[in-house]
Amino acid sequence: MAEISICTLEDILAILPHRPPFLFVDKVTKLLPHRVINAEREARPDEFYFQGHFPKNPLVPGVIITEALAQTSGLLWGLSKREDPSAYGENPELFYLAAADMKYVSPAFPGDILCLVSSFEKCFGALYRYAVEASVGKKVVAKGIITLAMTDNK
């Protein structure tokens, strides 16, 4: 069952530099600033990647799930900064996926709602590390560690 959104699409677009068709977070359902975020993404049957992955048995590609989890992690950082700007000092506003150590446990299909969870672990200067997990219902789809690198928008 889908949860109620706690931030609008406009809030998401204000933080993430991504835009459709490469925006993979529909809404945020839970936020504990500086700690954990829960978000959702519906794998709509008309998504561009289902045309080729795989036409007779479409699956959400692992790289798309990883990107959705990276975007969710970026939202945790950005929404936390919005809640308490002094905790982040003069940190830059733009981040990139620097590393992903993922395990793909089961497939996700068209029509599934991916529940995306990211928990802040630690930072090393401009590198921020998150424990992440994607699930559909009670079934874990993917889990791992994502590192984001913060940088200037130059």
Q: Which DSSP string do the residues of 130-150 spell out, in sequence order? A: EEEEEEETTEEEEEEEEEEEE
Is residue 18 part of the annotated active site? The answer reads no
pLDDT band at 1 (very low <50, low <70, confident <90, very high): very low
Q: What mean pLDDT do residues 76-86 have?
A: 86
**Which of 134, 4, 2 is closest to 69 using CA atoms?**
134
| Inter-CA distances, 56 with 59, 67, 109, 110, Å | 10, 24, 12, 12
Annotated active-site residue in 34, 53, 82, 129:
53
25 touches 16 (CB < 8 A)? yes
pLDDT of residue 83: 83
Cα separation, 80 vs 44, in Å, equals 29
pLDDT band at 91 (very low <50, low <70, confident <90, very high): low
**What domains lie within the chain, and their CATH numbers?**
9-151 (3.10.129.10)
Q: What is the pLDDT of residues 111-148, one digit of tens each?
A: 999 999 999 999 998 899 999 999 999 999 999 999 99
Cα separation, 150 vs 58, in Å, equals 34
Provide the whole-model pTM: 0.93
pLDDT of residue 81: 87
Q: Tell how many helices (H) and how many strands (E) occur in the chain.
A: 2, 6
56 vs 153, higher pLDDT: 56
